C-alpha cells in the first residue's frame, strides 16, 4: 500500500479495523471461556475475565466496528463531494492516533491499568490519543467540505461529519478527561456522566456512522435515488435531539434523581422518530427493488444490519421501562441486546459497506464474493444464536431474581447457555478470519477493474 495515495486513509482504517475484528473476537472467546470454566486462565493474569472482557468490548467497538465504518466514510465523503480528501497525511495521522488508543487496550488492561468505567476504560493518555484522532478528522472533513466541488451535501456526509463533532465533545465529558488520574467524578454525579458517554458511544459514534453508510449503500445497490431528503434531515436532527440525554436509562435501578430517569425513559420512547424515519426512508427507496438488496452480497449484509436495527430499537425502548427492568436488567438480556446492536446493526453494516466500497478504493474486484456470502452466513448463525441464547439466559436469571431466588440457586442453570454462547462465538470468530483473508487476497490478487465501470454519479443516489 503506497502512502498518501487518494483514499489511502480509507483503506488504512479498513485494514486496521479488520485486524481488530479478529483480535477483539478472540478476546470475546477468552471472556466466554471464563464464564464456562472460571479457573481456565487463572494463572495468566492478562486473560482473566476482569481484564479480557474490557479488551474484548473496547476492541470490537472502537477497533473493529468504528474503524471500518470510519474507513468507509473516508471513501464516500470525498466521493460524494467530488473532491479529494483535504489531506491524506492528516488522515493517516488520525488513523495512527485512533489505533494507538485501541492498542492500549490489550496492553494496559492486560497489565491491570484501566479507568474501570465500562466503555470509558481507556487510560488518560489513550483518551488523549483518541481525542487527537477525532479532532484531526474534524479538521480533515471540514476542510474537505469547504473545498468541495459538489455543492449538495448528501445525507451520508452529514452523518459522517456529525459523528466526529458530537463524539469529540461527548467523549471528553463522559471520560472526565480533565481528571487525568481517575477519569471519574465522585459521588452519584459520576454514573450520570459516565452513562452519558456509555450510551452516546453507540448513539453518537456507531449509530450515525452506520446510518450514513446505509444511506450510501442502499440507493446504490437498488439503483434508485433516495426516497426523501426531508426524512433524512428529520432523522438526523432528531437523533441529536433525543439520543444525547437517554444515558440515564442504564441506571434506572440506581439512586439518581427521578427527573433524570423520567427524561431518559421518555426520550427512549421518542427514539422511535429517528429510527423509523431512517428505516422508512431506506425501505421506500428500495420498494419494488428489494430483491437487489437480497441478492447482492454487500446489500444483503446492509439489509440484515437494518433489520437488526429494527429489532434492537423495538427492544431498547421497552427495556428502558422501569416496570420491565426488574426482569431484564443485571443479567444476560442486556448482553444479548448489546450484541445485536453493536454487531448486528453497526457491525453488519460495517462489513457490508466495506466490501461495497473496496473495489472503488482499490481498483480491484473483491477476491471472492462467495467468501463474503460465507462470512454473512457465519455472522448470521453466530449472532442469531447469541441473541436467542443470551435472551433466554437473561429471562431465566431475571425471573428467578424477581421471584426472590438466591443467586447461587440460579447459577447452576446457566452453563448450557454459556456453553452454547462459547460454541456460537466460534462462528463469529471464523467470520473475522475469513474476512481478513478475503481482504488480503483482494489487495494482492483481486482482478483489476476497468476504471470506467467504477465511475458513478451522485445523481444516481441523491
Residues that bind ligand HEM (CB under 6 A): 24-25, 28-29, 31-32, 35, 53, 56-57, 60, 64-65, 118, 202, 206-207, 249-250, 268, 271, 275, 312-313, 316-317, 319-320, 325, 328-329, 334-335, 337-339, 341-343, 345-347, 425, 428-429
Q: Which is nearer to ligand HEM, 31 or 144 (CB)?
A: 31
Q: Pick the closer one to ligand HEM by CB: 8 or 115.
A: 115
Closest CB to ligand HEM among 28 and 446?
A: 28
Minimum CB–partner distance for residue 95 and ligand HEM (Å):
20
Return the number of the residue (300 or 339) whose C-beta is nearest ligand HEM.
339
Q: Which is nearer to ligand HEM, 114 or 362 (CB)?
A: 114
Residues facing residue 448 across a β-bridge:
364
**Helices vs strands, H then E, count in the chain:** 21, 0
Interhelix angle for 297-319 vs 207-222, to 10°?
140
Q: Are 366 and 442 in contact (CB under 8 A)?
A: yes
For helices 369-402 and 415-445, the axis angle rounded to 10 degrees is 160
The DSSP bridge partners found for residue 141 are: none
Q: Minimum distance between the CB of residue 245 and ligand HEM, rounded to whole angstroms? A: 12
Q: Which helix (H) or strand (E) holds 214?
A: helix 207-222
* Closest CB to ligand HEM: residue number: 425
Short-list 219, 325, 350, CA closest to 268: 325
Pick from 77, 92, 69, 76: which is nearest to 21 by CA? 69
**364 strand-pairing partners:** 448
> Cα dihedral sign for 338, 343, 349, 354?
positive
Q: Give 144 or 332: the residue with its C-beta nearer to ligand HEM.
A: 332
Q: Is there a contact between 356 and 306 (Cβ–Cβ < 8 Å)?
A: no
Residue 415 and residue 411: Cα distance in Å, rounded? 8
Q: Which is nearer to ligand HEM, 108 or 207 (CB)?
A: 207
The set of cell numbers assigned to 43 is 494463572
Amino acid at each position: 500500500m503506497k502512502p498518501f495515495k487518494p483514499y489511502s486513509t480509507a483503506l488504512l482504517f479498513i485494514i486496521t479495523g479488520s485486524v481488530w475484528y479478529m483480535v477483539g473476537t478472540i478476546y470475546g472467546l477468552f471472556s466466554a471461556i471464563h464464564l464456562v470454566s472460571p479457573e481456565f486462565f487463572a494463572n495468566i493474569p492478562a486473560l482473566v475475565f476482569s481484564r479480557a472482557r474490557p479488551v474484548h468490548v473496547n476492541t470490537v467497538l472502537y477497533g473493529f466496528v468504528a474503524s471500518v465504518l470510519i474507513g468507509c466514510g473516508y471513501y464516500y465523503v470525498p466521493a460524494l463531494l467530488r473532491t479529494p480528501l483535504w489531506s491524506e497525511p492528516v488522515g493517516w495521522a488520525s488513523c495512527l492516533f485512533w489505533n494507538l488508543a485501541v492498542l492500549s487496550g490489550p496492553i494496559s488492561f492486560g497489565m491491570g491499568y484501566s479507568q474501570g468505567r465500562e466503555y470509558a476504560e481507556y487510560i488518560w493518555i489513550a483518551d488523549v490519543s483518541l481525542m487527537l484522532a477525532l479532532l484531526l478528522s474534524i479538521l480533515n472533513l471540514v476542510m474537505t467540505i469547504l473545498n468541495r466541488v459538489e455543492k449538495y451535501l448528501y445525507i451520508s456526509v452529514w452523518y459522517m461529519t456529525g459523528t466526529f463533532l458530537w463524539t469529540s465533545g461527548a467523549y471528553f465529558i463522559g471520560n472526565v478527561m480533565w481528571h487525568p488520574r481517575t477519569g471519574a467524578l465522585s459521588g452519584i454525579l459520576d454514573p450520570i456522566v459516565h452513562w452519558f458517554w456509555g450510551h452516546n458511544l453507540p448513539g453518537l459514534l456507531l449509530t450515525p456512522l452506520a446510518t450514513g453508510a446505509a444511506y450510501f449503500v442502499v440507493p446504490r445497490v437498488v439503483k434508485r435515488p433516495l426516497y426523501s431528503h426531508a426524512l433524512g434531515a428529520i432523522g438526523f436532527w432528531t437523533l441529536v435531539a433525543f439520543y444525547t440525554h437517554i444515558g440515564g436509562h442504564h441506571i434506572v435501578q440506581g439512586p439518581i434523581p427521578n427527573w433524570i430517569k423520567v427524561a431518559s425513559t421518555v426520550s427512549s420512547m421518542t427514539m422511535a422518530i429517528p429510527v423509523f424515519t431512517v428505516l422508512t426512508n431506506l425501505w421506500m427507496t428500495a420498494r419494488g427493488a428489494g430483491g437487489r438488496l437480497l441478492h447482492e452480497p454487500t446489500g444483503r449484509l446492509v439489509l440484515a444490519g437494518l433489520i437488526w436495527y429494527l429489532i434492537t430499537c423495538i427492544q431498547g425502548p421497552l427495556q428502558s421501562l422501569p416496570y420491565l427492568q426488574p426482569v431484564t436488567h443485571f443479567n444476560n438480556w442486556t448482553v444479548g441486546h448489546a450484541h445485536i446492536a453493536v454487531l448486528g446493526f453497526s457491525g453488519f453494516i460495517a462489513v457490508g459497506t466495506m466490501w461495497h466500497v473496496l473495489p472503488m478504493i482499490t481498483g480491484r474486484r473483491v477476491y471472492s464474493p462467495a467468501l463474503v456470502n460465507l462470512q454473512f452466513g457465519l455472522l448470521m448463525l453466530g449472532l442469531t444464536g447469541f441473541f436467542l441464547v443470551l435472551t433466554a439466559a437473561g429471562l431465566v436469571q431475571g425471573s428467578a431474581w424477581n421471584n426472590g431466588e438466591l443467586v447461587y440457586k440460579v447459577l447452576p442453570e446457566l452453563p448450557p447457555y454459556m456453553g452454547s454462547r462459547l460454541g456460537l462465538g466460534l462462528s463469529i470468530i471464523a467470520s473475522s478470519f475469513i474476512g481478513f483473508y478475503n481482504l488480503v487476497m483482494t489487495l494482492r490478487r483481486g482482478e483489476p477493474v476497468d476504471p470506467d465501470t467504477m465511475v458513478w454519479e451522485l445523481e444516481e443516489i441523491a
